[in-house]
Structures are given as C-alpha cells and as structure tokens.
Structure 1
Amino acid sequence: MEDWIGEDNPVRLIDAFVDELDLAELGFGGIDPEATGRPSYHPSLLLKLYIYGYLNRVQSSRRLEREAGRNIEVMWLLGRLAPDHKTIADFRKDNGPALGKVCARFVELCREMGLLTTASVAIDGSKFKAVNNRDKNFTRAKVERRRAQLEESVARYLSQLDAADRQEPTEALAAKVTRLTEKLTKLKEQMAKLVVHEEQMLASSDQQISLTDPDSRSMATSGRGSGVVGYNVQVAVDTKHHLIVTHEVTNRGSDRAQLANMAKQAKAVLRTETLEAVADRGYFSSSEILACHEAGITVTLPKPMTSGAKSEGRFGKQDFAYQPEEDVYRCPAGERLPRPRHLTLRTDLP
C-alpha cells in the first residue's frame, strides 16, 4: 500500500501533523486505555480521519465509515482500521474544544512556516443548516401563526360536529363523529404543547427556541422570503494564501455586528500591530468601523445604497443606462460615455 501513497500526497502531511501533536495537552480523551473492556480507537486515528474528511468535503460520519473500508488513502492513514459511524460522530461531539485547539495549532504552524506574513484578511459569513427542522423552531410570529391555524381547524371540526348533530343517526355518521372527536382531542393536545413552547420562547433572551438543536436559530438567507434554521459561521481568511486565520460560530443571523470581533481575532492571531480587513456590504456598521479604527484595523467595505445615497452624490450601476443605437452609456447627469474599445499593442514601431 506504500506504493499507492506518494511522498507528496497530502495524506502524508495529515499523518505527520497529527503525530507531532500532544493530544493530551490539547484535551483529547481516550489516549490512555481503560484497565478493563475492549481497547478503543486511539484519538490520533480518529483525528486523522476527521481532518481528511474536512479537506475532502466529506462531513457525514456514515460516509467517512464507508471511506475507511474502500478508500486506499484512508486505509493507509488509519492502518486498515475501520471505525463505525457512531464512533466517528461521538469523537466529534465529545472533543469540540480540543478540535478547536488543533485548528489554532495549525494556524501557528502556518505562521512558523511564513505563510501568514501578510497582515490582510477577508471576512465573510456563511449560513449552515442545523439538524433542527423548521417545524421544531419557534418564534413569536411562528407561535401566533400556528395558534391561528389550530384555532381555525378546531372551529371547522366543531362546525362539522354541529352539522352532524342535526342529521339522522346512522352508522356512517357515528363513525364520522368519532373521527372528528379524535381530531379535536389531538388539536387540544397540540394547543397545550404550543402554550408550553410559547412560555419557553418568551423566557429566552432572543425570544426564539429550537427543540432538536437548542443552539440553532432561524436566520434569513439571500433568497427573498426564505430562511434556514442553523448557524452563522464567521471566517477570516488570509488574502495571500487563502488560509483560514480564525473562525467563530454564532447564532446571530446578521453579519452587521461581527466585523470588529472577527477583525480583532484575526489581528491577535497574526500578531501584528496593524491589519487590513475586507468585507462585503452586509458588515457595514458605523460603530463596528469605529471599533476597528480604534484597534488599528483599516477596513475596506462598500456602503449600502440607501434612500439618501443619491442625494449624497453616490450612484450604482443601475443608474447608468446603455444606449445600443449609439453604443454609449448615459449617466444620471445626462452625459454620454463611449464604451471602451480593446487596444492593440503595436510592436513594429521603433
């Protein structure tokens, strides 16, 4: 199998990196085997598998289990051992803080190798869907909407029962009344549960709860009227080598209050007196920009186009109309700008 894994294979880098780590100091459990019972998988093997899955975009514990039994690289990395999906999932669940320290150690290694010498980062956030279903997430609006739906269903079934009482009794009518009664009982149970969820929701700091994944929150996405129950993962990336300098998982749906926090973290990791940070318009906030300035961080980001932007003399590309018959662009002031032509470099001139 050694012949299949070349010297320049990234798998060898994973193997060497993990072998150099002091897993006990980082906080991993299961390093010393128990006195009784079957020996568990050593955390170094599971960490190698975790990093391999991260680099190859294989996040599912079941997929990693399959890779351990069929992928030559993974078989070499694990010494032909094949942990099951529950072992892999429990390793990630039980060693969250230790995995975070491994990421920090990797950043330190990149700094020691001279890969993080540029004091410039790009900051952005991504929404990641949680295990929590939308129906298991409750906000004030969702509770009110669900209560209205339940009350409407109760009124409809009561109306049907009233209509049934005015008809001649038959076996079919009796069966219908039984079904309606059972449905009303279930609706009353749902109403009682909704009251409990509403109390929990109102007692929370942000007036929102998620039943399956308590830390996840409902967040708006780029699509109009769409959203996801999950997390907002903030990342600061080195602009030269595109290495992740620092990251943070938050349950705040907006990026507007994340700029200074992420920029200061990146500045601390890079150990630099000054820092240049680039972000998109979703991070624009006067207080955040001021906090960055006071911390020695220069921020570059576009200002959102507000209703008063045009009165300030700022225009967007939508304000420049193309005139195909003249092949020019007309600006808001009425001036015409010819479209630039491609230039040809003359090499025959003295």
Structure 2
Amino acid sequence: MGGKVVFKAYDPDQLTFLPYKLEELVPAGHPVRIVKQVVDAVDVKPLNRKYKGGGASSFHPRLMLKLLIYGYLTNTYSSRKLEEQAAQNVPFMWLLGMKKPDHNTINRFRSEKLSGVLKQFFSQIVQLLVAEGIVSLKEAVFTDGTKIESAANKYSFVWGKSIKHNKEKIKSQLDELWKYAQNLANEERLDTSPTTFAEVNAERVEQTIASINAALAGQEDVDPKVKQKLNYAKKHWPENLAKYDEQEKLLAGRNSMSKTDPDATFMRMKEDHMLNGQLKPAYNLQISTQEQFILNYTLHQASTDYQTLPSHIEQYESLYKELPKAIVADAGYGSDENYGVLQQKGIEAYIKYNTFDKEQKEGIKAFSNDSLHYNEADNYLTCPMGQRMHHVGDGQRITSSGFLQLISRYQAQNCEGCPMRGACHQNPGNRIVEINHSLRKHKQAATERLNTEQGIKYRKRRPADVEPVFAQLKHNHGFRRFLLKGMSKTEVEIGLLSIAHNLRKWKA
C-alpha cells in the first residue's frame, strides 16, 4: 500500500503581509524587458510633436509604443485584446506600470499618432542592431516581396477597365441620342452641325440631355423608347459620371481597387485556402533583410515586384543616409529601369532577369533576339546565317511604371530562300527585330556578376535569408490580413510587425 496522500496548502482567500511585486513575477531575460529597454533608448520627440496639448492628460507616447510593440511581439494585434492584456497579463501590467489604456485610445494612437513617424523608430532600432555588430547597413541586403490581404470586403471591387467601358458606352449612347434629335428637330431648335463626344463629364451630359429634351419638346413622332432612354439618362448618367471620375482619381492609374479600402489593389493571392489564386484586395509588402533581420520595409499598391524597387531603395537611403553595397533579389526585379537605378546609385545588382535560370540550364534559345551577335562599332546585328541586319530606325516604349525605354530596329537584307527561314521567323518579308540595348547590356553584366563566386554565394543565401522572414510573419505569427484600412494605417501595422520581428530575433 502507498503512503498517505499529502496536498500542498491552498487558500485563495489568504491575505499576504506584503503585496506581490510585479518586478518579481517577470523573469530576467523575458522579452517584455527587451521591449522596455529598447523603447526607453529611442528618441520619441517625433511622437511628442503630434500632441497639441491642453485638455485632459494623455498616456505617455513611450508607454503606448511599448504596449503596441510588445502586443505585436506576442501576436496580440487587436486593440480590444490589447486592452484586455493590459488589465490581466502580468508582463503587460509590469510594462505599463499598471496603466490601462482602453481600446479606443490604443486604436487612435496606432492609427493617428504613429502614422508617418513609426519608420523613424524602426530605423533607430535597426541602428541599435548595427551598434551591436549584428547587421551592417553597408553590406549586401536580400530583397523580396509578399502580398498581404486588406481588411476590405473581397467582393467590393472596382475595375479600371469597367469604368472606361461604361464611360465609352455613355458617350456612344449620347452620340446616338444627339443624332436622333438632329434628324427630328428643326435647325433652329438644335445645332445640326456634326458633333461627337470625345470626352464626357457630368456637367456636359446634363447640358446635352437638356438641349435634346428641349429640341424634342412638342414633337409628336418621338419614339417612346427614346423618351424612356432620355429620362433614364437625365436621372442616372450625370451621377454615374461623377462617380466614375471620383473612382478614377482614387485608382490613380491602377487597374483595380476596393470600394471599402480604396488604397488596396486586387492582387492574386498565392496562399489562398482554396489554392486557386483568387484575386483579393491586398498590399504588396517589400522587405530587405540581412541575417533574417528586417532592415527596410515598404508597402505598395503595385502587384508586380519590379515596380517597387526604386522607391524601396529611396526609403533605405532616406532612413540611413547610406546605401547597401549590393542588392540580391529574384527575377521578379530584373528590369531595365531597376538595373539602371542600381547602377546610378553605385549598388551591385545581383538580380536575375526572367530567362536567367532557363539560360543557365539550356543556353540562349537559338534564333532568339539575344542569340544575335551585335557589332557595337558599326551598329549592326548578325543573323544566324552570318548576314548583316542593318539598323533601320529607333523608337520609344513606355513601361507600366512610366519608364521610357529606347528601342532600336534592325532588318535582315535577304531572307528569301534562306534554309533557316522556317526556324528563324515566320513573318513575310525580311526579318525585323527590336533591341533594347540598355537592357541587353544590363543582362550581360547581371549574368557575369551572378556567376562569380560571390554571386553564387548570394544566390544560395537569398532564399534562406529573406523568405523565412515571411514564413515567420504569416505562418508562425498568424499575420495574413491587415486589421486596418488605408495605406498610412497598414504601413503602421507592418512597421510594428517588423520591429517586433527584429526584437524577437535579437534576443532569441
């Protein structure tokens, strides 16, 4: 038989002679102590300037910053849950000195006070990492992007093409109504000169419909369907056109946006739970890392990565007043504009272009433009049969990002009867090719750089440096969707997430 069972004394109502000290309940090395230490070291003057003064007293911005950073470090993103943690969770209570901001105060601070200034605190914390010798702002950084879903309703889409189509439809129908009125009305009652509506707006449509109605007034043989269409047009077209104009301003050149979060663009999400790449309102997050620490983050409305790099680099330079020695990125960033920007800034571009991997395995595709030898001294190409292709003109092309490319055209002299004609090109006449010499040179330089010993090391290191950071943020810490709407607010969320990631990894 076993001995007598003995239980430890337990009396929840027992009073203690001295109250517990929260200091004793937070162990040394606890992450909350790191947050306190780091936030106490940063300069919060930019935040102080956001307070107007007067009225009721406010919670200290350093306290609020600690609350949010530690909240994001512990995967507590909701303002209501942060309010709850401040009242119940011992590390939060210790960090805040028993202060208890409510969720409205927390949300206002995050949405308003941190907007536009959080990146300054982020950069100060990165400078602390530099001082510790953990990262270097002058060495190579590894850049990549991911898409994070907006808090907007995914069915609230507005498409730029749809707006254009609807405006064209109104122009066409207005033109038909005007011609109908011209044929039916007297010359004195309506201008009978040929008229087309190249551009319509709410005011002009309203005036035109009024003119048509006045011209048709008293006419007995007006088609009832025309009257019905005019009534519909008078009631709806000006309002619709005003709405389309406002939406086009919000789109600012984009092809889509969300009605409930106009800053969000519809992007194809790889990690959709149905694995079918659904289009959802989202933002394109770009980060540059080193040793899996985030050194720079930017948020973009463009869905393609290559359009984001110039502004991403500009922010790096703005934050730290210096630039990295090199940028390592995948083929999504390999464009004429990006290679040129990096070259101009003196940054080594270890960036693939879209056909780099295939060329490394299979070589340059026979008969492609890249396979044609170029004689720079005399400005001609050599075709696969060894004949010259003479320069016949130059042109320009503007990319979707607004970048101007210079294009040179070359034409073969005699393709008729060539034994390679079928494999070389199918078009009638002599072959004409277009060459972007700037991009051609950048691609040659990129190939040489990527195949150096250093280039091969960077290529192997890139997926192990930057991609795990996204896995940490999205999968390990469950941040797959923004809580707030609008570019300024979502940038704050990403900033808090990036600071939390760096602190979590710093003292891990």
Instruction: Find the aligned partners of 1:273 and 1:84 in 2 and give their Cα distance.
Output: 41
Instruction: Find the aligned partners of 2:365 and 2:164 in 1 and give their Cα distance.
Output: 44
Instruction: Find the aligned partners of 1:273 and 1:139 in 2 and give their Cα distance.
Output: 38
Matches within 5 A, 1:231-310: 231-238=283-290, 240=291, 242-263=292-313, 265-266=315-316, 275-305=325-355
Q: Deviations over 1:61-87 (max 9, x none)?
A: 122122222221111111122222211
**Is 2:162 the partner of 1:136?**
no
Alignment coverage as a number of residue pairs: 268
Q: CA deviation at 1:298?
A: 1.9
Q: Classify 1:130/1:27 alpha carbon distance in 2 versus 1 (closer, same or farther; 3 Å).
A: farther
| DSSP 3-state at the match of 1:19 | helix
Q: Classify 1:270/1:243 alpha carbon distance in 2 versus 1 (closer, same or farther; 3 Å).
A: farther
**Is 2:167 the partner of 1:125?**
no
**Is 2:279 the partner of 1:227?**
yes
Instruction: Find the aligned partners of 2:37 and 2:143 in 1 and give their Cα distance.
Output: 30
Instruction: Find the aligned partners of 1:17 and 1:195 in 2 and give their Cα distance.
Output: 53
Q: Classify 1:140/1:273 alpha carbon distance in 2 versus 1 (closer, same or farther; 3 Å).
A: closer
Instruction: Check whether the contact 2:140–2:324 (CA below 8 A) recurs between aligned residues.
Output: no
Instruction: Check whether the contact 1:267–1:275 (CA below 8 A) recurs between aligned residues.
Output: no
| DSSP 3-state at the match of 2:59 | coil
Instruction: Check whether the contact 2:300–2:308 (CA below 8 A) recurs between aligned residues.
Output: no
Which of residues 70, 74, 81 in structure 1 aligns to 2:92?
A: 74
Q: Classify 1:229/1:192 alpha carbon distance in 2 versus 1 (closer, same or farther; 3 Å).
A: farther
Q: CA deviation at 1:100?
A: 2.0
Q: Deviations over 1:211-259 (max 9, x none)?
A: 3323222223336552221211211111x2x221111122111111223
**Is 2:64 the partner of 1:49?**
no
Instruction: Check whether the contact 2:142–2:329 (CA below 8 A) recurs between aligned residues.
Output: yes
Q: Classify 1:83/1:146 alpha carbon distance in 2 versus 1 (closer, same or farther; 3 Å).
A: farther
Q: Classify 1:210/1:27 alpha carbon distance in 2 versus 1 (closer, same or farther; 3 Å).
A: farther
Q: Classify 1:194/1:5 alpha carbon distance in 2 versus 1 (closer, same or farther; 3 Å).
A: farther
Q: CA deviation at 1:97?
A: 1.7
Which of residues 81, 93, 100 in structure 1 aligns to 2:119?
A: 100
Instruction: Find the aligned partners of 2:149 and 2:239 in 1 and give their Cα distance.
Output: 25
**Is 2:274 the partner of 1:199?**
no
Q: Classify 1:110/1:267 alpha carbon distance in 2 versus 1 (closer, same or farther; 3 Å).
A: same
Identity of aligned residues (%): 26
Instruction: Check whether the contact 1:264–1:295 (CA below 8 A) recurs between aligned residues.
Output: no
Q: Classify 1:270/1:116 alpha carbon distance in 2 versus 1 (closer, same or farther; 3 Å).
A: farther
Q: CA deviation at 1:106?
A: 1.0
Instruction: Find the aligned partners of 1:53 and 1:190 in 2 and give their Cα distance.
Output: 49
| DSSP 3-state at the match of 1:105 | helix
| DSSP 3-state at the match of 1:68 | helix
Q: CA deviation at 1:124?
A: 1.3
| DSSP 3-state at the match of 2:289 | strand
Instruction: Check whether the contact 2:258–2:264 (CA below 8 A) recurs between aligned residues.
Output: yes
**Is 2:149 the partner of 1:112?**
no
Letter in 1 for 2:265: R
Q: CA deviation at 1:138?
A: 0.7
Instruction: Check whether the contact 1:31–1:42 (CA below 8 A) recurs between aligned residues.
Output: no
| DSSP 3-state at the match of 1:299 | strand
| DSSP 3-state at the match of 1:252 | coil
Letter in 2 for 1:70: Q
Unpaired segments ≥5 residues, structure 1: 148-188, 315-350
Instruction: Find the aligned partners of 1:57 and 1:79 in 2 and give their Cα distance.
Output: 21
Q: CA deviation at 1:202?
A: 3.4
Q: Deviations over 1:167-191 (max 9, x none)?
A: xxxxxxxxxxxxxxxxxxxxxx999
Instruction: Find the aligned partners of 1:292 and 1:213 in 2 and give their Cα distance.
Output: 33
Q: Classify 1:24/1:294 alpha carbon distance in 2 versus 1 (closer, same or farther; 3 Å).
A: closer
Instruction: Find the aligned partners of 1:15 and 1:283 in 2 and give their Cα distance.
Output: 38
Unpaired segments ≥5 residues, structure 2: 1-21, 168-234, 367-508
Decide which moves more: 76-85 or 273-282.
273-282
Q: TM-score normalised to the size of structure 1?
A: 0.65
Which of residues 246, 265, 277 in structure 2 aligns to 1:217?
A: 265
Q: Deviations over 1:6-40 (max 9, x none)?
A: 221221121122223332344553496x3x44x33
Instruction: Find the aligned partners of 1:97 and 1:7 in 2 and give their Cα distance.
Output: 34
Instruction: Find the aligned partners of 2:308 and 2:74 in 1 and give their Cα distance.
Output: 28
Give me the CA root mean square deviation.
Answer: 3.4
| DSSP 3-state at the match of 1:49 | helix
Q: CA deviation at 1:274?
A: 5.5
Which of residues 36, 39, 47 in structure 2 aligns to 1:18?
A: 39
Q: Classify 1:63/1:48 alpha carbon distance in 2 versus 1 (closer, same or farther; 3 Å).
A: same
Alignment correspondent of 1:40: 58
Letter in 2 for 1:6: P
Q: CA deviation at 1:141?
A: 4.1
Instruction: Check whether the contact 1:68–1:82 (CA below 8 A) recurs between aligned residues.
Output: yes
Instruction: Check whether the contact 1:123–1:236 (CA below 8 A) recurs between aligned residues.
Output: yes
Instruction: Find the aligned partners of 1:220 and 1:196 in 2 and give their Cα distance.
Output: 30
Q: TM-score normalised to the size of structure 2?
A: 0.47
